[in-house]
Amino acid sequence: MSKRRPYVRPMDGWWLKNPYYVRYMSREATSLFVGVYALILLAGMVSLACGETAYNNWLMAMTNPVSIGFHLAALAAAIYHTITWFAVAPKVMPALFLAGKRVPDIAITTTQYAIAVVLYLGLFCMVWRV
């Protein structure tokens, strides 16, 4: 008779058992902030379509300290998500080859930061008309 009795360990609370998993779950959790932010923005668009009073009410609501607090938290979450996303992007896209040589991961990540900086500078210039 076989004496085998392979033991399978439970997975409860797995994401708290390793700092790497905690970071992974935080990255996933940032999507909640992005989701709520998108809904708020959508509400703004709808109120804009509804007319001036509705839009002004929405603008008023946005100056509420709770709203400002949420937007700061959402900004932090979005920045964290962007950093983690830029870091994994070289793993997600097909391997890039230039002149027969593999483009190193660090070059891909740096290029993304460079593009982001240029886009944001452009955006700020447009908004503040400098």
Partner 1 sequence: MTDIEKTIEIEVMRYHPEQDASPVFKTYRIPYASDQSVLQGLQYIKDYIDGTLSFRWSCRMAICGSCGVMINNQPKLSCKTFLRDYYPGKIRVEALQHLPIERDLVIDATDFINKLESIKPYIVPREARSLEQGEYLQTPEQLARYEQFSSCINCMLCYAACPQYGLKPEFTGPGVLALLHRYNADSRDGARADRMQIVNAEEGVWGCTLVGYCSEVCPKQVDPAAAVNRNKVNSTLDYFLRFLMPGGGESG
What residue ranges bind partner 1 (CB under 8 A)?
Answer: 3-9, 11, 14-15, 17-18, 20-21, 24, 28, 88, 90-95, 97, 100-102
In one-letter notation, the amino acid at residue 42 is: L
The least CB distance from residue 111 to partner 1, in Å, is 17
Q: What's the rounded Cα separation, in Å, for the pair 42 and 61?
A: 14
Q: Which is nearer to partner 1, 28 or 120 (CB)?
A: 28
Nearest-approach distance from CB 126 to partner 1, in angstroms: 33
Cβ within 8 Å of residue 40, ≥6 positions away? 67
CB of 78 to partner 1, least distance (A): 18
Report the C-alpha gap between 83 and 75 in whole angstroms: 12
| Closest CB 19 distance from partner 1, rounded Å | 9
The answer to whether 78 and 35 are in contact (CB under 8 A) is no
21 or 120: CB nearest partner 1? 21
Q: Give 66 or 95: the residue with its C-beta nearer to partner 1.
A: 95
62-86 burial: b if 16+ Cβ within 10 Å, else e = eeeeeeeebeeebeebeebbeebeb
Q: Is the Cβ of residue 30 or residue 47 nearer to partner 1 in the bound state?
A: 30
